[in-house]
């Protein structure tokens, strides 16, 4: 098979970390992985823990262009791997294959999600990333608006208030213009 990313190399049979089958480009170092190979390995090695205490120094390459499945030639879909990074992996719906650019496997391990390779390409995983991004955007907005110190204080107050048994009365007191008056 010809490499889908660089279009120069050839995908040769290999193993990822000597664990499960893949095909690696002899030119750019990218990896083609069939999800079924990953799942078969995972099923036979349920206790395996990936080392996530990695310091990855190399520059990570990522294909920003659309990639085509090396087996069928159909367009692959890009999936975000986490909310912490903008990197995306490419997935072929037709074959169940995942393309990892050189260094992306190490990034998955560093992020602690290498064992979730098959779940990254699911809608629930992508929804979780979107929800986290939305939360991060609101945090940034509140920190910008209130200042980090004030935001931390108001968050602490909110958490205390939420867990207090008299939270409704406390809210009414806080929201009243004059809590010592009977006027509305």
Q: Report the distance separating Cα 69 and Cα 93, nearest Å.
A: 9
Q: Are 71 and 97 in contact (CB under 8 A)?
A: yes
Q: Report the distance separating Cα 26 and Cα 9, nearest Å.
A: 5
The pLDDT score that the predictor gives to residue 85 is 85
pTM confidence score: 0.75
Residues 107-138 have pLDDT tens digits of 999 888 999 999 999 999 999 999 999 999 99
Residues 131-167 have pLDDT tens digits of 999 999 999 999 999 999 999 999 999 999 999 999 9
Pick 182 or 181 by higher pLDDT. 181
Calculate the CA dihedral of residues 38, 42, 44, 50 and round it to 10 degrees. Answer: 120
What percent of the chain clears pLDDT 90, i.e. is strictly above it?
75
What percent of the chain clears pLDDT 70, i.e. is strictly above it?
92
DSSP state of 58: S
The pLDDT score that the predictor gives to residue 63 is 63
Q: Which residue has the tokens 């791997």?
A: 81
> Does residue 58 carry a pLDDT above 60?
no
| pLDDT averaged over every residue in the chain | 90
């Amino acid at each position: 098979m010809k490499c889908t990313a660089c279009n120069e190399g050839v995908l040769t049979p290999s193993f990822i970390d000597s664990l499960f089958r893949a095909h690696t480009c002899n030119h750019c170092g990218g990896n083609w992985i069939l999800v079924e190979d990953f799942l078969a390995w995972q099923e036979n090695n349920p206790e395996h823990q990936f080392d996530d205490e990695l310091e990855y120094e190399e520059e990570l390459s990522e294909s920003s262009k659309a990639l085509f499945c090396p087996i069928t030639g159909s367009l692959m879909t890009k999936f975000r791997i986490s909310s912490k990074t903008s990197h995306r992996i490419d997935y072929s719906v037709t074959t169940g294959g995942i393309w990892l650019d050189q260094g992306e496997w190490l990034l998955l391990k560093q992020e602690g999600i290498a064992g979730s390779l098959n779940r990254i390409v699911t809608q629930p995983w992508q929804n979780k990333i979107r929800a986290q991004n939305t939360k991060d955007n609101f945090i940034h907005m509140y920190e910008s608006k209130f200042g980090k110190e004030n935001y931390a204080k108001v968050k602490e107050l909110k958490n205390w208030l939420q867990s207090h048994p008299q939270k409704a009365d406390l809210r009414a007191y806080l929201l009243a213009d004059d809590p010592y008056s009977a006027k509305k």
